[in-house]
Amino acid sequence: MAVDILGILTLPNWLCGVMATLLAVCLYTWYKQRLFHRLGIPTKKTVFLLGDFVDMVRGGFSYLGMDLYKRYGKVFGIYLGNVPALVISDPEIIKHIMVKDFDHFTDRPPFLKLTKFWKSAVSVAGGDEWRNIRHTISPTFTSGKMRSMTQFLQRSLDVFHDILDKQIKASPNGFDIDPTVRCYTMDVICSTGFGLDVRAQTNPDNPFIKYSKRFLETSPLGMPKFILYILFPDLADMFPRLFETSFMSKDIMDFFMTTTRSLFEDRKHSESKHKDLLQLMVNASNLAETEKISNSQRKGLTDEEILINSIIFMLAGYDTTAAGISWVLYELALNPEIQEKLVNAINDEIGESPLSYDNVFSLKYMDMVLSETLRIHSPATRLTRMPDRDTEISGIKIPKGMNCQFVTDILHFLDEYWEDPYTFNPERFAPENKDKINEYAYLPFGVGPRNCVGMRLAQLEVKMTVISMLRKYRIYKGSELKVPLPRSPYGLARPGAPVHLRFEPRGRNK
């Protein structure tokens, strides 16, 4: 069969079909990629159909940076394929979204169509389901609970120091500290959150490390369903089942499911009184069984919610904190005078006392060093929110469902809010300077009701680790340390090359 076109040309049916489909795709893309034009918002120039996809493949998730801000300003649009996103670097608008108008910006936009199981993760869940889960797990991080977690942290820290001592003896000219730190933070989250002694530090082939690393290095760019989703988001909304993915390969999922399920079952039938995250969730599961009420008012957690959130906590609590510790050690090696000042503060204010929640949190200079490190090396480079209705803030029209993004690579370096932004200077966080800081231009842990729920545990862990290391060692650049240290292009902004450092016992001169 063939189609006659105005008597000039005869084309076979299949070719007409292909051409009609291409035309439809082009018209669809043209319409989708005119959105910001219709809203009067400047747009980054992108490749037709692919949008920013090419830049993202080249530069990773952190390709959005200061150069784009300089070209397009405080509010501009980008397209990932045909999915629009609004990049906002105006602290006033951010305040509105994250705090003032939070009830309409509670959810994060999806970047994939995830399965129902994944949608129950606290970081992914929306609306009332998110409120219920967050309400259940937040008490894990009260100061009382954190005080009792310190003993578990100290136990993992003792193992960390044994291993570090051996590594220092074996490699006096320096070594990559990052893998050791990662195993340590895995031990910490498993013991503090789940009462689980995984001993990642003493077993380099530990499956927790192996599978978490593989999962965290998964790039959506290699997933056909992700590509289809960003090209045809409306189709994905119409046929969600077809586009659904669990974003985790089967063997990784099986490992985490089997582990968390058996932990959960053991704990359900255990008589002992734990005070960790898992226990709070188990208590909440008992509540869910006794209170059979409608989903929107439901209290407590289902078994599925407990399983997925256990997995999320193991993953969220390990890699971010490891990145935080490695970046602090790197900055201390680069800035010996700041390192010395921190050592003096530790000697003066804590001396030889055992480390505790209270003395660690009262050490101001440590807080200043950590805050500055997370300004320059924020592990999370993009934070997101999505409105549940059409809205307008400071004259900017934001349609319902718009992916609103706040980029720390821009916000943390704005001249307007940070003097000499590319210099590592903890003094900007000194108590007398703190009121100069605009809290909506500084988002290492986010802000508002949906900020990082594990922030205080992360801070305690990084600070305790660094203080304990500085009590014993001077930290120097290793001969193979790349300066500036590149960062991994995908996912979290963690070091992307060996954190090659040299350690010398204190008391000996260089």
Residues of this chain that interact with ligand HEM (CB under 6 A) are 122-123, 134, 189, 312-313, 316-317, 320-321, 324, 379-380, 383, 444-447, 450-454, 457-458
| 236/383 with CB nearer ligand HEM | 383
Q: Are 145 and 277 in contact (CB under 8 A)?
A: no
Least Å distance, CB 152 to ligand HEM, is 13
The annotation status of 26 as a binding-site residue, yes or no, is no
Least Å distance, CB 365 to ligand HEM, is 18
| 232/313 with CB nearer ligand HEM | 313
| 313/330 with CB nearer ligand HEM | 313
| 462/481 with CB nearer ligand HEM | 462
Least Å distance, CB 127 to ligand HEM, is 12
Strand partners, 59: none
Nearest in space to 373 (alpha carbons), one of 432, 450, 442, 434: 442
CA distance 99 to 447: 8
Beta strands 83-88; 403-407: pairing state: parallel
**Nearest-CB residue to ligand HEM?**
446
Give me the count of residues in the chain: 510
DSSP per position, 460-492: HHHHHHHHHHHHHEEEEE-TT--SSPPB-SSSS
Beta strands 500-505; 2-5: pairing state: unpaired
Least Å distance, CB 190 to ligand HEM, is 11
Single-letter amino acid, residue 330: Y
Single-letter amino acid, residue 395: G
Q: Could you give the 3-state DSSP secondary structure of residue 10?
A: strand
Beta strands 83-88; 9-12: pairing state: unpaired
CA distance 115 to 246: 6
Least Å distance, CB 321 to ligand HEM, is 4
Single-letter amino acid, residue 376: I
**Strand locations in 379-459, DSSP E?**
382-385, 391-393, 396-398, 403-407
Q: Are 78 and 87 in contact (CB under 8 A)?
A: yes
| 419/439 with CB nearer ligand HEM | 439
Least Å distance, CB 459 to ligand HEM, is 7
Beta strands 175-176; 500-505: pairing state: antiparallel
| 34/299 with CB nearer ligand HEM | 299
| 195/317 with CB nearer ligand HEM | 317
Least Å distance, CB 492 to ligand HEM, is 8
Least Å distance, CB 445 to ligand HEM, is 5
| 200/452 with CB nearer ligand HEM | 452
Q: Are 216 and 319 in contact (CB under 8 A)?
A: yes
| 339/378 with CB nearer ligand HEM | 378
Could you count the other beta carbons within 10 Å of the beta carbon of residue 2?
12
Single-letter amino acid, residue 120: S
Q: Are 89 and 75 in contact (CB under 8 A)?
A: yes
Query: In sequence order, which residues have a C-beta less than 8 Å from that of residue 379 and are 6 or more positions away?
Result: 319, 320, 323, 324, 327, 444, 492, 493, 494
Least Å distance, CB 261 to ligand HEM, is 20
Known binding-site residues for heme equal: 452
Known binding-site residues equal: 452
